Amino acid sequence: MGALILGLVFFLHVTQAQTPPNWNKEGIPNLLKEMTIEEKVGQMTQINLDVICEGEIYKLVEPHHLQQSKLDEAIAQWHVGSVLNCGGHAYPVDQWHQIIRGIEQTVEAKSRMKIPVLYGIDAIHGANYVMGSTLFPQQLAQAATFNPALIQQVAEITAIETRAVGIPWNFSPVLDVGRNPAWSRFFETYGEDPYLCSVMGQGAIQGYQGGNATQLDNQHVAACMKHFLGYSGARTGKDRTPAYLSDIQLREIYMPSFQAAIDAGAMTVMINSGEINGIPVHANPKILVELLRNEMHFTGMAVTDWEDVIKLVKVHHVAVDLKEAVYQAVMAGIDMCMVPNDYDFTRLLIELVKEGRISEQRLDQSVARILELKMNVAKIGDATAVGLKDKIGCDAHIKVAQQVVAESITLLQNKNNILPLKKESKIMVTGPAAHSLILMNGAWSRTWQGVDTTWEDQSKMTVVEGLRSLGGRNVSYRRGCELSSYKKDEKWLKSLKKNDVIIACVGELPSTEKPGDIDDLSLEKAQIKFVNDLIKTGKPVILVLLENRPRLIEPIAEQCAAIIMAYQPGDNAGEVLAKILYGEINPSGKLPFTYPKFNQSLLTYDHKHSEALDQKFGENAYQPQWPFGHGMSYSQLEYKNLKISKARNASAKPTWIVSVEVENKSNRPAQETVLLYLHDQVASVTPSVKKLKRFDKKNIPANGIALYEFVIGTEDLSFIGRSAKPEIEGGIWDVYVGDLKGQIEFQP
Ligand code: BGC
């Protein structure tokens, strides 16, 4: 009976949910006329969930729940337009529903305009703040699949599991190009290449938002491309430190992934917390208006990053006080401010408008974008009633996560075909990453930094558990070493002789943003010493890497029999990794970045010729541990018959069809990604030694052949010229596919 009454109350609540008057795009001008300055500024205000929960900010009362008086203040007094984040850790779906419903009900009861509050969250490798949700490999690993259709599926599932709890806005994908492997957010990128980032990013946008970017259904979420622009270009590689980027670099390297996302209909953008050439991006109208709006034609909504208006005063020192900072950011072009822990932004912006320093028209511009976004993503009524609860972490979703793991894991070295392992082999699994779900998951996993083991899902398999599920008693385990400390145990090392192989799982503790800054890219000395001792046993050592970024392993790499890059594959990876090691799955991942060998040699694959010059006056200075695009298969794959033919496309422009065959000379089916690069032999802006222009992944049956075909157009021959605009000059381009080479000639 109780349930019946509750159900009835709920039904009434849903059906009585009122639509604000003029709640359609044509009605926006009328809505703006009706709204007070306070209500408009409130729409531009985004607060942290902590602000409206019981307890203190960052110290909420467990279990976290809304405090009605604080919520009333946010809605009735400050007219807050958006709330973000969880209060420090993930929630089960029902707890999310209580929070989202609580906010909605307060809007209905206490807000004059009844404009829905837009809830935003970081669901960046699955709905990571929803307990029981599907965790996917981090973005860097996703890029290693070179499979944009799969990445679209990842985003579709993430959207469903996010929407299931009532949240319609996701702060993802990261479209910053990973140019500096030391950067604490390297694992959040799609790697070092602008084209790869563009293609993968478009897949993610399509998956999050569905086909129709102007009106989402209740299975999709608004995407947020971040962090515009140049965030990953910091000179030191430390988080939120200055980038010094020329117009040419900005346009050649950092803009394409954002342009591709805008073209795919990305609804929102988050701004870079850092500075470019001495100007904080949050205070730079050249980037936020001239570039983003006028040149790149972005019409969606721009949100600041965390506390970034405050940082204009406290970190960047470009504003004398917060009021000046609010003025600078709003006049530079932000629409919504992720304040997020007080109402100072709101109060000061109201003052600035009332004093006439900022016009109401300026507010209207941003509020119109916010209202339109809300109309596009949120149906009025109960956001939690979408009926997707059962989909959270369902088998079908886990299967896709496993597929991503299978296609991302990258075989870097395999001497004497030590891999795949035989089932009867005696294996010692060891190392600080061998039995740790947090190291598999990485940051943004149930908590921000992802290091709190309380939130691990114990039903999931670690690497050693995965191996045991296949190898049974032949698999032994001993931790052997900590992440940063190692005590040699001679007796144990001697006993390792009994084994056929040693699998050493090494890596780093998850981290992101400022806590992830490092001074040395090398793998921790303790782990290097440990692996060296394992090598000295004379038994073949297979190294498995679980890390935020490519930690240098030069002192041990050569002596390891095999090396596998597992990235941060998520907690669905244990069994899949084991299947790869035992050969039930043929690896097909390829590095989406250059794996460096030394701290002072952090070249990207698309470096300039001058950077390739070595001490002996050759062109061999690019000597990474492994190059971009490297990744082996258990099959022997031979590239042959590169053919280039010239044609014309529908608009009579010249195009080139490049085809190549890949033969699988083994009895195992394989998957292979073919990468096509161009090298401009001469250009008025120094050309790179090569640039990725196309890639394609295909299945190749055992002893079969696959044909790959690529179409290259004149736009692929363009570069950012001296005028900082795309230019095409006549000349010759080398075409590189695997170890094959051809040429294209073109005169405009
Ligand atoms: C990060 C963003 C994130 C935001 C909200 C910031 O610190 O830089 O990537 O979306 O927090 O959690």
pLDDT tens-digit readout, 336-378? 999 999 999 999 999 999 999 999 999 999 999 999 999 999 7
Q: Residues near 704 by Cβ (< 8 Å), separated by ≥ 6?
A: 663, 664
Is the beta carbon of 188 within 6 A of some atom in ligand 1? no
Q: Is the pLDDT of residue 399 over 90?
A: yes
Higher local confidence (pLDDT), 701 or 651: 701
Interatomic CA distance for residues 304 and 46, integer angstroms:
9
Task: Write the residue with the smallest CA distance to atom 10 of ligand 1.
Answer: 171
Which of 85, 174, 306, 512 should be mutated for ligand 1, with most atoms under 8 A from CB? 306
Instruction: Give the single-character DSSP code of 632.
Output: B
State residue 380's pLDDT score: 77
State residue 5's pLDDT score: 42
Residue that the structure tokens 């280039």 belong to: 644
User: pLDDT tens for residues 156-176?
Assistant: 999 999 999 999 999 999 999
Other beta carbons within 10 angstroms of residue 597's beta carbon come to: 17
Tokens of 566: 């597992």
- What would the mean pLDDT of 67-96 be, rounded to a whole number? 98
Provide the mean pLDDT of the chain: 96
Instruction: Give the single-character DSSP code of 389.
Output: G
Alpha carbon of residue 225 to chain centroid: 10
State residue 599's pLDDT score: 95
Is the beta carbon of 85 within 6 A of some atom in ligand 1? yes
- The alpha carbon of 305 and the centre of ligand 1 are apart by a number of angstroms equal to 6
Interatomic CA distance for residues 639 and 707, integer angstroms:
10
From the candidates 176, 193, 239, 305, which is the catalytic residue? 305
The residue type of 618 is G
Which of 172, 270, 304 should be mutated for ligand 1, with most atoms under 8 A from CB? 270
Interatomic CA distance for residues 46 and 654, integer angstroms:
50
Is the beta carbon of 449 within 6 A of some atom in ligand 1? no
Other beta carbons within 10 angstroms of residue 574's beta carbon come to: 25
What percentage of residues in the chain have a pLDDT greater than 90? Answer: 94
From the CA of 172, give the closest atom in ligand 1: 10
Instruction: Give the single-character DSSP code of 572.
Output: T
- What would the mean pLDDT of 709-726 be, rounded to a whole number? 97
Q: Is the pLDDT of residue 4 over 50?
A: no
The residue type of 158 is T
The answer to whether 129 and 443 have CB atoms below 8 angstroms apart is: no
- Please report, in angstroms and rounded to a whole number, the separation of the first and last CA atoms in the chain: 79
User: pLDDT tens for residues 458-510?
Assistant: 999 999 999 999 999 999 999 999 999 999 999 999 999 999 999 999 999 99
Annotated catalytic residue 305: yes
Q: Residues near 106 by Cβ (< 8 Å), separated by ≥ 6?
A: 68, 71, 72, 75
- The alpha carbon of 53 and the centre of ligand 1 are apart by a number of angstroms equal to 20
Which of helix, strand or coil describes residue 21?
Answer: coil
- What would the mean pLDDT of 507-516 be, rounded to a whole number? 98
Q: Is the pLDDT of residue 6 over 60?
A: no
- What would the mean pLDDT of 280-286 be, rounded to a whole number? 98
Interatomic CA distance for residues 346 and 339, integer angstroms:
9
- The alpha carbon of 728 and the centre of ligand 1 are apart by a number of angstroms equal to 38
Q: Is the pLDDT of residue 272 over 90?
A: yes
The answer to whether 548 and 568 have CB atoms below 8 angstroms apart is: yes
Give the Å distances, CA to CA, from 623 to 394, 589, 594, 689, 716. Answer: 44, 21, 10, 14, 27
User: pLDDT tens for residues 427-438?
Assistant: 999 999 999 999
Tokens of 726: 């795309």
- What would the mean pLDDT of 623-641 be, rounded to a whole number? 98
What percentage of residues in the chain have a pLDDT greater than 70? Answer: 97
- What would the mean pLDDT of 686-700 be, rounded to a whole number? 98
Is the beta carbon of 408 within 6 A of some atom in ligand 1? no
- What would the mean pLDDT of 659-685 be, rounded to a whole number? 98
